Amino acid sequence: MGSDDSYNFVFKVVLIGESGVGKSNILSRFTKNEFNHDSRTTIGVEFSTRTVQLENLSIKAQIWDTAGLERYRAITSAYYRGAVGALLVYDITKHLTYESAERWLKELFDHADPHMVVMLVGNKRDLETLRTVPKEEARDFAEKKGLMFMETSALDSSNVEAAFNEVLTEIHRKVASREVTRGSISAVTLSSPLGLTSEAQDERKGCCKS
């Protein structure tokens, strides 16, 4: 793992999805290489960082774990602002958590930059015998919505690193290619803690109040 002391970019990434799909363990697996079998439902928002080396650059990921329970969603909506990436997580053994993906996408884009990078993540792939969401069905949905896609297991750590690295790489690609001319993702720099220039922050304050 890289040091948090020196970095070229800061990218804010949010984890979204229903309660119990494993968002908190995906976060702890990526940032601390830990898995908690007795993890409690997140209330509000948890936050962690990790600096990674990608393409000869140091990228600091600020990862926000938003609560999945309906009654807490009102207090997490503000935390979408400034995000340039998101992992939309469902449980491959619980089809209802996958069915809610479209609703989560709507909420995400109601509160976040429309040009942000989003990956649909099917977690708990270690429970293959209990699968209720076919991989190809989820992949087709992701392609239809213009999302990246990957299946992970926070328990055995498979693809967790790859999922975050692919999202961070794609964010950097968009920033470097300047393919986005407005919004936070085009203005990610070292000049502010969430990767937003003061100009972009002012723009978002003016257009994105909720």
> Residue 124 carries which side chain, given as an amino acid letter?
K
pTM of this structure: 0.81
The fold adopted by the segment(s) 9-207 is Rossmann fold (3.40.50)
% the chain with pLDDT above 70: 73
Lowest mean pLDDT among 51-65, 74-88, 134-148: 74-88
| pLDDT of 192 strictly over 50 | no
Which of 80-84, 127-131, 174-178, 191-195 has the least mean pLDDT?
Answer: 191-195
**pLDDT value, residue 36:** 84
Output the average pLDDT for the chain: 80
Q: Highest mean pLDDT: which of 121-125, 183-187, 196-200?
A: 121-125
Question: For 19, which DSSP code?
Answer: T
The dihedral through the CA atoms of 143, 141, 29, 175 has a sign that is positive
Beta carbons of 57 and 24 less than 8 angstroms apart: no
- Measured CA to CA, the distance from residue 144 to residue 147 in angstroms comes to 8
Query: What is the percent of the chain where pLDDT is above 90?
Result: 53
- Residues 6 or more apart from 117 whose CB is under 8 A from it? 84, 85, 86, 148, 167, 170, 171, 174, 185
pLDDT of residue 156: 96
Report the C-alpha gap between 128 and 100 in whole angstroms.
21
CA dihedral defined by 189, 191, 192, 195, rounded to 10 degrees? 0
pLDDT, residue 102, reads 94
Q: Any bridge partners for residue 50, and if so which?
A: 61
In whole angstroms, what is the distance from residue 76 CA to residue 104 CA? 13
For residue 178, how many C-alpha atoms fall within 13 Å in the half-sphere facing its CB?
0
Tokens 């990434």 sit at which residue? Answer: 13
Following DSSP, what letter does each residue of 151-166 receive, concatenated?
E--TTT-TTHHHHHHH
